[in-house]
Amino acid sequence: MALSPRASLFITMVLVCVGAARSVTDTLHELDPDYWRVVEHSSLRYLIRAPSDDTMLGWLNAQWFKVLSVPSGLSLIYLRNRFGAGTDEQREAEFHDWAVSGVWIAVFWAGFTVIELQKQFGFLRFNTLLVHGEDPWLNHLAHLLSAMLAWRLGRVLSIA
């Protein structure tokens, strides 16, 4: 079942916005791990990188929000194809080519895995730390699920 081109565009734009916002807050967290305290008593804390407040939403945010990471990256590739050169059919065929989408999914998954390993072992000398409620091995599982979700998303998005 393929989504309509408009639904595909809407979903990918939402995922790109979510991914961009999360990327910004990940960077803010590296610069100042307490940056999130300005929204500590707001529901906004569940949309940004913040430690769990020991609620279900806090745990989902700290541990499982990353299942959207690879789909957000793949959404960038979808938008590149959607607004790229060629006919709709050519751009859709390229996006649906398993080698193209598979390589991009693998690249995003590998990049996010390196980030998780950095948080776990600190080998790149960045100030990237785990937050309360985040388990290193569940991070790897979340990114694996993220790659699987991206693969499924790539099969249902349509350009034409």
> pLDDT per residue over 63-98, tens digit each?
999 999 999 999 999 999 999 999 999 999 999 999
CB 128 within 8 Å of CB 139: no
Query: Could you give the CA distance from residue 155 to residue 53 in angstroms, rounded to a whole number?
Result: 36
pLDDT in tens, 117-157: 988 888 877 667 889 999 999 999 999 999 999 999 999 99
Helix (H, G, I), strand (E, B) or coil at 48: coil
Q: For position 119, what pLDDT does the model report?
A: 86
Rounded CA separation 36/57 (Å): 15
Give mean pLDDT, residues 33-49.
Answer: 93
The pLDDT of residue 123 is 82
Residue of 118, 142, 141 whose CA lies nearest to 130: 118
Helix (H, G, I), strand (E, B) or coil at 67: helix
Rounded to an integer, the average pLDDT of 40-56 is 93
Rounded to two decimals, the pTM is 0.93
pLDDT at 1: 84
Domain ranges of the chain: 5-156
